[in-house]
Amino acid sequence: MTDSLTILSETRVFGGWLKQVRHQSAAVDCAMTFAIFLPPQVEAGASVPVLYWLSGLTCTDENFTQKAGAFRVTAELGLAIVAPDTSPRGDGVPGDPDGAWDFGQGAGFYVDATEEPWARNYRMHDYVTRELPALIEANFPVTGNRSIAGHSMGGHGALVCALKHPGFYKAVSAFSPIVNPTAVPWGEKAFERYLGLDRDRWLEWDACALIAEAAERLPILIDQGDRDGFLETQLKPQALVAAAEAAGHPLTLRMQPGYDHSYFFISTFIEDHLRHHAAALLA
């Protein structure tokens, strides 16, 4: 491990280790924190594949690690999990001028901002798809087999990462993703500030637009609760279903009756997603 990584904590869990790590990021020009779970197979000398998890608005790495209940199955399967923060943070990083929770720090939307004052720090797509995997693969006992998943804003991020980088990931899935950010209030607010007023440029970060010309038909698994308070206004999964059908892209949308947007929902179905990823990563 390089001296540039600082271990903030180490916790034993299901025979493996959960580590919280801080490093200075060149991509987003600030200190970043991520969590990594290394399964027990690592102690026996194995290198393991990695599932990257992208969290949603207001979250950090700790939401997934403390609430998803993923580590028992991950330890059994022999997968590492990496959970980065959702945005750049710190005194020098601009946030929402009105202190809103759905923009700025905690709401990076996994895009590479082009507009000031956001362009210097808000390059989360570059961080997640380039800098972080290189860092993980250089410093931990992992293979080059990667997959990606996420929740809400992070579900949007996972879909976009997979669609924009054919061959880089072996599998993709999402819980309650923002599938069509160019057409919902959360996405419109973020994209106008991060990317400018040209809505055509926004389509580069919209899964519904990207799926039409995707160079790889990686099967997509989505779980969505039908009592999610954001379902009709912000998420609209049927838009992605329609785009996938038009493009001939394999997609499974599972509407889960009675479930909401919370980690109670995620923890209920996380095992299905972990096994979906393991089937591709360990093939």
Ranges of H-type helices in 98-250:
124-126, 132-139, 153-164, 185-195, 199-202, 207-210, 237-247
Contact of 157 with 53, CB cutoff 8 Å: no
- The catalytic position among 61, 85, 228, 273 is 228
Would you report the helix, strand and coil content of the chain in percent, each value rounded to 5?
A: 40, 25, 35
- The catalytic position among 55, 147, 152, 173 is 152
- Token pair 């049927």 is found at 238
| Integer Cα distance of 110 and 208 in angstroms | 16
Two tokens at 119?
Answer: 């362009």
Two tokens at 219?
Answer: 């099967």
Two tokens at 97?
Answer: 């001028």
Two tokens at 150?
Answer: 């996420």
SS3 state of residue 245: helix
- The catalytic position among 125, 156, 261, 277 is 261
Does residue 152 carry a catalytic annotation? Answer: yes
As annotated, the active-site residues are: 152, 228, 261
